[in-house]
A = this chain, B = another copy of it.
Amino acid sequence: MDEQRAHMAASEPAPDRHELYDEDGVIRPDFVARVGAAIADRDTLYLKGHVSGLHESEIGDLIESLQPEQRHALVRLMGNDFDFTALTEVDEAIRRDIVDDLPNEKVAEGIGELDSDDAVYILEDLDEEDQEDILAKLPFTERIRLRRSLDYPEDTAGRRMQTEFVAVPPFWSVGQTIDYMREDEDLPDSFAQIFVIDPTFKLLGTVDLDRILRSKRDIKIETIMHETARPIPAEMDQEEAAQLVEQYDLLSAAVVDENDRLVGVLTIDDVVDVLQEEAEEDIMRLGGVGDEELSDDVASTVRSRFPWLMVNLATAVLASLVIGLFDATIQQMVALAVLMPIVASMGGNAGTQTLTVAVRALATRDLDIYNAARIIRREVSVGFINGVLFAVVVALLTWVWFGSGQLALVIAAAMVINMLSAGIAGIFLPLLLDKLNVDPAIASAVFVTTVTDVVGFFAFLGLAGWWFGLI
């Protein structure tokens, strides 16, 4: 990245952000059109001048705004001036499409320039065969580095780590360390910490760069290093690792293998990406959407949403079966059919509120044994109180609408029962799923609304049938 910024400064001034994005942060149509025209004209001079100087994320946004053929042409026209890091900034489908269009030699060349974490990010999505072919075309040390990351399971810290880092022995002085950094050509593009290791690469500690800069030259590194109380095992899940980095406000974190040897560094930009991805995943799962991306086509979107809708159909049929039990009651008092969705819907919403709070608190580890009892009591109380409040409102409404005080009483009772069930289901189901090591976000919503639909219909229709003596 730093190389690129330096290059940017050398060739021409960085284009102002205002020239690229409008005030809503959307890339400007006239810029996209100008690049499109340059692609059509095969105007490599314009492209190298105006595109290669952009930040990787800006190139990523530009690529996403172009048509697929334009994307291929852009990458080919820019040749070696195309920064492959930009591919880490686009949707997976677009990345694969671009990489598949390029000969493996070109991909290997482009990937060879990247930090290892970015290279792995691009490589991991490719077919086994292409991956092997591209790796084979890389220089030996580069290949070993990348393979080491790729050997760790997906979504682990080992996969996300950057294998380029600066490490020094504890007995060096600050002066020696600075001299080393001034001389060495092989430093990572950018770094925020250096690591202290013993001769076997065992991690001893870390030093933030500001601590080096404010220490005198003769100070020994070991006296200013922090002992790393929490190195990240390479096998650790990336979400857990990211949460550690976030919790301790680190700029980067050492990743170690099973023998506590330093193998890489998790940088803050990757941590931010992981945290964003995980929050995104929770939102999508709560909304009943899987791993889909905005660039997915109609067919894959239908495929990814179908299963969830199928599950929902099963639960809706279950609710219908409950209603079917009371068809005679409904036939005699059709007002029940008119009112029953109100009871179910209020329960569904109250349940969703509770489960949303529970799912998020579990994800951020704020819901634990210390407050579980209190939160359960709270949610059950809130369900009951809101149940009573809305029972009054709905009873009045029913009385005015249908002129039946008895029907009003029945719906009030059903409302209290269902909102109370909503609170209970909304808190216990996520806790149960979490205990079973199922992500509560993925399944809570459908289970909770099943409970509130079934209980809602059963309570309302059952009470009505019993009260009016119609069964």
* A251 in contact with B251 (CB, 8 Å): yes
Interface residues on A, range: 35 or more
Partner of A360, one of B24, B284, B302, B317: B284
* A323 in contact with B294 (CB, 8 Å): no
A385-B284 Cα distance, complex, nearest whole Å: 21
- Is A369 interfacial (CB 8 A cutoff)? yes
Known A-B contacts A26-B368, A213-B178; A313 and B346 likewise in contact (beta carbons under 8 Å):
yes
- Is A403 interfacial (CB 8 A cutoff)? no
* A313 in contact with B289 (CB, 8 Å): no
Cβ–Cβ < 8 Å partners of A248 in chain B: 55, 57
Q: Among residues 338 to 362 in chain A, which have CB atoms less than 8 Å away from a CB atom of chain B?
A: 338-342, 344-346, 349-350, 352-353, 355-357, 359-361
* A251 in contact with B192 (CB, 8 Å): yes
Q: A451 to nearest B CB, angstroms?
A: 14
Q: Main SS of the interface on chain A? A: helix
Closest B-chain residue to A296, C-beta based? B378
- The segment from A10-18, A41-49, A126-134, A135-143 that touches chain B is A10-18
Q: Among residues 289 to 326 in chain A, which have CB atoms less than 8 Å away from a CB atom of chain B?
A: 289, 292, 294-298, 301-302, 305-306, 308-310, 312-313, 315-317, 319-320, 323-324
Closest B-chain residue to A343, C-beta based? B316
Q: A140 to nearest B CB, angstroms?
A: 26
Contact string against B for A residues 215-250, beta-carbon threshold 8 Å, 1 for contact and 0 otherwise: 110000000001101100000000010010011110
Cβ–Cβ < 8 Å partners of A394 in chain B: 313
Q: Among residues 179 to 212 in chain A, which have CB atoms less than 8 Å away from a CB atom of chain B?
A: 181-182, 184, 187, 190-192, 208-212
Cβ–Cβ < 8 Å partners of A227 in chain B: 9, 13-14
A384-B213 Cα distance, complex, nearest whole Å: 63
Contact string against B for A residues 363-383, beta-carbon threshold 8 Å, 1 for contact and 0 otherwise: 011111111000100100110
- The segment from A155-163, A257-265, A269-277 that touches chain B is A269-277
Cβ–Cβ < 8 Å partners of A289 in chain B: 353, 356-357
- Is A93 interfacial (CB 8 A cutoff)? no
Closest B-chain residue to A331, C-beta based? B334
Cβ–Cβ < 8 Å partners of A268 in chain B: 251, 268, 272
- 18 additional A-B pairs beyond A27-B370, A279-B280, beta carbons within 8 Å, are A29-B370, A64-B366, A64-B370, A182-B216, A192-B251, A246-B276, A280-B360, A288-B353, A294-B366, A294-B375, A305-B353, A306-B386, A306-B389, A309-B386, A309-B390, A319-B342, A320-B341, A341-B457
Which residues of A pack against B, CB within 8 Å? 1-2, 5, 9, 13-14, 16-17, 24-27, 29, 32, 55, 57, 64-65, 178, 181-182, 184, 187, 190-192, 208-216, 226-227, 229-230, 240, 243, 246-249, 251, 268-269, 271-272, 275-276, 279-280, 282-284, 286-289, 292, 294-298, 301-302, 305-306, 308-310, 312-313, 315-317, 319-320, 323-324, 327-328, 330-331, 334-335, 337-342, 344-346, 349-350, 352-353, 355-357, 359-361, 364-371, 375, 378, 381-382, 385-386, 389-390, 393-394, 397, 453, 457
